[in-house]
Structure 1
Amino acid sequence: MSGRIPVTVLSGYLGAGKTTILNRVLAGAGDQRLAVLVNDFGPINIDAALVRQRGRDVMELSNGCVCCTIGDDLGETLSAIAARPAPPDRVLIEASGVAEPARIAMSAGHWPGFELDAVLVAADAETIRRRAADKFVGQLVRNQLDRADIVLLTKTDLCAPDAVRATEAWLHARKKGARVARIVQGRVPASLLFTGGIPAPGGAGPAPPRVQPGFTTRIWHPGRPVDLARLEAAFASLPESVHRAKGFVIDAATGSAALIQCVGRRVKVTPATEGAPGVVFIAFGDPAPLEAFCAGLDAALVPSAV
């Protein structure tokens, strides 16, 4: 584990539903210390019951979270957050609707003490195709979608099912391997927002139930050490339905634990000091591709010595 604070960037064009998602996240933060960085408190209507103290630049919430306005320098804001008496477990940056998430992700992900976890882009199911074709803002909207690890397709309950499916098909057609999840009323599972939200694999047993309508979890329990090269090669072919994965395996070459994390198409394997073998997957839509993928992962296991 790196010990750095993970950063999630929430982007999306104006009116895509980022504020609704943000309020849902804050209301369900639980016991984790979450720092939310926003461009301006003005348009953020945080539930008054959550607010404990509101200052000029920092809003402290009763659940232990803190909201800060992003000053002229994002790095300075991150440093100030990290220097607080109780540093956050993770940071969520709510980008302006006209911001380029790639620049924010680059700056935050490389700032000392922090690392990029994911870039999530909210897209209004009713308007995203029209926005992307607009001669004035289309390039910005397309840039936002292109940088997304996961596209959160919002307001799907307000559109006809055929229209939602057509928009999903368009998103997959314009970007190979795009991860798209339907979001209703801003409800995003913590396991999708943050890698740390994925539960520990725990003991062997049947796969857990769906964590939210449309989402499925599956645990792969490697019974033996793995060939990391073969495992990484397998992860390069993750089904588009798989949005997140996290867990531990035993490296056959060293006998030590390794942590594998995946968000969208990005896969990262790092040495770990501990961790019971097991990898949790979060998928959206038809669970069959995930089941088939997990069944094929046993090919990465190293045979036991005779």
Structure 2
Amino acid sequence: MEQTKKIKVYILTGFLGSGKTTVLNNLLSQFVTEKNVVIENEFGKINIDATLVNGTFDSVYELTNGCICCSINNQLLEVLTRIHTLKNQPDNLFIETTGITDAGEIAANFVSFFVAEAFDLKKIITLVDAENILFYKDNNPEVQKQIVAADVVVINKSERVATEVLTQIKEFISSINPYSSIVLSNDGSLDRTILATENSQKAVAPNTLYKSESVHKIKTILYETDDFFDVLKLKYELFKNMYLYYHQIYRIKGYVLTPDNEVALVQTTGKSVVIELSKNQTISKSQLVFIGKELELKTIERLLKSAIVKNKKLQLL
């Protein structure tokens, strides 16, 4: 059967107890007129969360051999193939991950050419528990990686904490992921319209992003230059370093200028690197945001050095 449209994909992630299944059920109840399938991932032979999923869906695929982002990527690809070959193609695929999943690694599967032909990753939604996030964020790097990978961060159980605590949570989220949207939820409710909004791809101005570091050791560093980038060399360098230092570099995103004065959007997903021309974007200089553990500006400069083409704009007489 020839497929005429891609299956929309939504990844739900969040640390243990953040309320992922509740949010999933809430979203499914808003998609009652569409055909939905769900992938549930949990440790152990019995997936308790799968028994808690309700709402409008056609199938639940259970992955219970381990974390979806590491030991069972092949199993995930097998399930995606099964979904793709269904006679009646679903409109939406919802993936609920384990509480310790690296969402960027899951998302990387959807950058693969043959997967991207059939599936369209629309949103990575990360949930945080407002009552506990400030207590466990520093001792659990998974929490930080999930937030870094997110397009939308949902602060769940938000009405249970004081306003000043919410402010601290928002500041923490923005300090390690300046691109994510932040929404509040009290009982796992999330308006489906947030899934239809465009993901942030704006170039970040220097005064809206600062180098941040706290006891959790994640840094957000803005690299700027007036020089141009050789896109092929840049992709090679980023791919090589994301592969070698994936445990240290969590995310890269931004815009660069090419020697032809074109603008290219750069973004990494897991260990994958995507660079594509952006015809509607105008920038005056290249800006790349690096988010990761114990990053240093000198290291980033050394990483990018071979891809830089010195600015040789002609001076007008």
- TM-score normalized by structure 2? 0.54
Compared with structure 1, are the counterparts of its residues 195 and 81 closer, same or farther at alpha carbon in structure 2 (3 Å cutoff)?
A: farther
Compared with structure 1, are the counterparts of its residues 128 and 165 closer, same or farther at alpha carbon in structure 2 (3 Å cutoff)?
A: same
CA distance in 2, matches of 1:66, 1:180: 30
| Gapped regions of structure 2 (runs ≥ 5) | 65-71, 209-274, 280-317
2:225 matched residue in structure 1: none
Compared with structure 1, are the counterparts of its residues 77 and 47 closer, same or farther at alpha carbon in structure 2 (3 Å cutoff)?
A: closer
Deviation track 1:213-256 (CA, whole Å, cap 9, x = no partner) reads: xxxxxxxxxxxxxxxxxxx99x5469x9xxxxxxxxxxxxxxxx
Contact 1:156-1:184 at 8 Å conserved across structures: yes
Q: Provide runs of 4+ in structure 1 moved above 2 Å.
A: 43-48, 63-66, 173-178, 193-196, 235-238, 266-270
How many corresponding residue pairs? 192
Please tell me the root mean square deviation across aligned C-alpha atoms, in Å.
Answer: 3.2
Compared with structure 1, are the counterparts of its residues 194 and 93 closer, same or farther at alpha carbon in structure 2 (3 Å cutoff)?
A: farther
1:188 matched residue in structure 2: 190
State how 1:160-199 maps to structure 2 within 5 Å: 160-194=162-196
Q: CA deviation at 1:267?
A: 11
Contact 1:13-1:123 at 8 Å conserved across structures: yes
Contact 1:146-1:175 at 8 Å conserved across structures: yes
1:65 matched residue in structure 2: 58
CA distance in 1, matches of 2:123, 2:63: 19
Residue 118, structure 1, aligned to residue 111, structure 2: no
| Gapped regions of structure 1 (runs ≥ 5) | 51-62, 197-231, 241-265, 271-306
2:48 matched residue in structure 1: 42
Q: CA deviation at 1:175?
A: 2.9
The share of aligned pairs that are identical, in percent, is 23
Contact 1:117-1:195 at 8 Å conserved across structures: no
Amino acid at match of 1:43: D
2:78 matched residue in structure 1: 76
1:286 matched residue in structure 2: none
State how 1:1-306 maps to structure 2 within 5 Å: 3-40=5-42, 41-46=47-52, 50=55, 63-70=56-63, 72=72, 73-110=75-112, 111=115, 112-134=117-139, 137=140, 139-194=141-196, 236=203
Q: CA deviation at 1:177?
A: 3.6
- TM-score normalized by structure 1? 0.55
Contact 2:122-2:195 at 8 Å conserved across structures: no
- The alignment partner of 1:187 has SS state of coil
Contact 1:8-1:91 at 8 Å conserved across structures: yes
CA distance in 1, matches of 2:53, 2:149: 30
CA distance in 1, matches of 2:41, 2:53: 18
